[in-house]
Amino acid sequence: MGALSRKVLLIKPDYNFCSIGMAYVAAGLRRRGIDFDWFDACHDSYLELEGMVRRNDYLAVATGGLIGSFSFFRRLLASLKAARPGLPCILGGNINSALKPAQVLGFFPFDYLVLGEGELTLPELLEALDRGERAPMDIPGLAFRSPEDPARVIRTAPRPRLDLCQENWMPHWDAQSIGRYNIRAFPILTGRGCTGHCTFCAPTNGRFRGRPIPHILEEIERLNASFDFDAFNFLNEILFADEADIELFCDEYQRLGIRKRWNCLLRIDLDPKIIGRMKEAGLCVVNIGVESGSDRVLKRIKKEITVAQTEAFVRMMNKHDIFIEGSFMMAHLDERPEDLEATVSLLNRLDVRGPYALTINYPGTYNYRVAKERGLVPDEEKYITSLDTLYGVDPYDIISRHRAGELHYLNLSSMPDDELFKSVERASRRYFTENAKFQVRDPRIEATGTPGLDHLEGECPFCGKTLDMTFDRQRFALSALRFPDCPGCGVTEFHFDPRHIPEFQRHSAANRERIEGAARIALLGQSSDVRWLLRHDCFHLDPDRIAGIIACDGFPDRYALNHPVLPLDTLVANGLDLVLVLNEIPEETLQAGLLEKVGWDRIRFLTPSAGAEAMADHPPTAEALARVRTRRAAAGADPVNPEFLRERVAQFLEEWGPSQARIVIHGAGGHTAHLFDWTGIKQANVVGISDNSLSLRGIQRFGFKILAPWEIASLKPQVVLISSHAFQEEIRKSLGFLVEQGVQLVGCYQRE
């Protein structure tokens, strides 16, 4: 029997990583002997949740997280209240720091808010509820509606911050099913809070408070004995309060004899003399907040560093052979075009890459106050609700969807939206093209012995591990020039520059004059290839010369960055000098009269694909195009071959159709459009569409709202049909957790 008369239910939000905050809350409950059940919204379904709530007489349900989970909390509350209307629901986390209690309780039907750290407040609240108290005024750190006047919000006295020195507070991970997340670098905190004052940030826990080093070492030993992983990942912005503590930690960590490497975040105002000692103790990867390459912007956003400091810090890290990730943002407060260019120049000059994003202006930050003062947030609830469409989304997708009217980006730069988005496009192209850390070193090409297939390889620019892949030269899809993640260091997004491929060199030289002489160009190709082209300036194609993208089944979006996706007739009517085909001409575009309306003399192929070979007939004959399709079909799974696809899906339906199995289609692009257009998949019991691209999450396509991978389980599928031609191994690996739940994975562009 636990300390309470009934169990409690803890719910982790649907983000696809383990929650260290919820693990600390679970530790707080365990310390007080409070029994709880655990529900992970990333992997488990709402049907399971409602069943748990109906079957169990829970005392209360508690959850918490980031303000970017606003829509999740709204959906969650609707499900909980439908299952048990009178069940007390508790919310904690960053969202309660970013918004005022009255706002949160106005947006959601939560019954109680835990303000600040919850390790003490939540257990005390649960004990009060178990005693029958509904308005626990004497518990600090709470907010709730007055029982007498629900319109009035009661806020109790503030809860003092947790004393991290008196007791060793360690997160309780056992409830989280760690194996589902395949953690290779285990998260750990050396303290809480931050010393910075950045305008785009709002630290939840105030000033930095460090944990005693013996406490950290005890947690390290426990994690090392309990879980299988490769490295420790220190999450907090401040590793330790000063260099003396860092040196002491390095000494004590080495004495433990645990030979795991460790990664951390560092501010660049650290004394560089300590770096060598950290390297000796196992430091492997450091993330630094570069943020901007402009001293004017750094001062405006109160970063409290200079460009010169960043340069000196990176040189010191390179001297000690430590991997550096340099995080940065675009569209800072009052940023100008030249500031964006300065940032990219700095990163490329230093040979540093890292995560980048458009600045998202969250409630609780200085930036958000500026936005409200400028009258840019007329509807606060609408803006806050939209944040989950922006959090963690690539700038490419934010700009594309803003242009299409699918979301609204709050711009605080000095530039109008149009100028900002075009400046971001140009700066991003320089970043991805010129930064050597995106390209393999010593690129090599070898024949495979199979006609049309090449073996591409090179060394990882971070750890030197050899990366390799097989490339289909007949298709010559630009997006297929991306290597899988490095097996040595785990770094992602390396590409093989097509300019190293002899066939491409010859083809490009033959067409360069015609392409460079065209003032208005339309692109024709799959969305993944257009994306690659717009992010990599390998062809000296000025974005201002791109009149648009020709709409086709392989390109269901309405915008690609700043470029509209338009029907062929519209682009022709607006005037075209050239149609640039990225690999092959889709069948439906030929049927729409591309050759007749544009003329073969105004069509050029960007790459030496099999389609480009057919164009050598000037104009291509039906027989030549048929030869291309036949040759590709003979190679196996041809993503634009209707006959192959119909045959493959017919086999799939023969196996899964009669039982009315619940089917999720994974992939929301052109290949799925082919599925619906060319096959009988509509006859099957398709219950949803998912995609690895988080930028598509929540968008309506093919009659379904697109889900992220971790939401698939909520649909209770028996089988997932993978509608993608490339990256089969990576996709299957990312969906491996479903296999553990008994779900079958089937590739519709593969012969099983």
Cα–Cα distance measured from residue 750 to residue 752, given in angstroms and rounded to the nearest whole number: 6
CA angle 706, 712, 717 (to 5 degrees): 115
**Per-residue model confidence (pLDDT) at position 314:** 93
Phi, psi of 660 (to 5 degrees): 55, 40
Q: Is the dihedral of CA 466, 470, 471, 473 positive or negative?
A: positive
What sign does the CA torsion over 426, 428, 429, 433 have?
Answer: positive
Class in CATH terms, 8-155: alpha beta
Its pTM surpasses 0.85: no
Residue with tokens 């909980």: 80
Which residues are registered as beta bridge partners of 39? 11
The residue with tokens 């360069």 is 512
Q: In the chain, which segments carry CATH 3.40.50.280?
A: 8-155
Model pLDDT, residue 463: 82
Residue type, 135: A
* Residue closest to 749 by CA, chosen among 475, 456, 529: 475
pLDDT at position 264 is 94
Kindly report, residue by residue over 376-392, the tens digit of the pLDDT: 999 998 899 888 888 88
Q: Which residue ranges of the chain lie beneath pLDDT 70?
A: 1-2, 203-206, 553-557, 587, 610-642, 670, 677, 694-696, 698, 700, 725-728, 750-752
| Residue with the two structure tokens 């520059």 | 497
Whose structure tokens read 């070898």?
A: 446
For 642-747, CATH gives 3.40.50.720
All CATH 3.40.50.720 domain ranges of the chain, comma separated, are 642-747
Distance, in Å, from the CA atom of 521 to the CA atom of 576, rounded to the nearest integer, reads 6
What is the CATH code of the structural domain delimited by 178-429? 3.20.20.70
Say how far apart CA 525 and CA 475 lie, in whole Å: 12
Phi-psi region of 452 (alpha: psi -120 to 50; beta: other; left: phi over 0): left
Tokens (6 digits) for 485: 């993640």
Contacts (Cβ under 8 Å, ≥6 apart) of 593: 568
The pLDDT of residue 636 is: 45
Residue 573 has a pLDDT of 92
Tally of helices (H runs) and strands (E runs) in the chain: 27, 30
- What three-state secondary structure class fits 614? helix
- The tokens describing 704, both together, are 């379904």
DSSP H or E segment with residue 547 = strand 546-550
Helix axes 417-434 and 395-403, enclosed angle (nearest 10): 150
**Measured distance CA(749)–CA(722) in Å, rounded:** 8
Please, what sign has the CA dihedral across residues 71, 73, 75, 81? Answer: negative
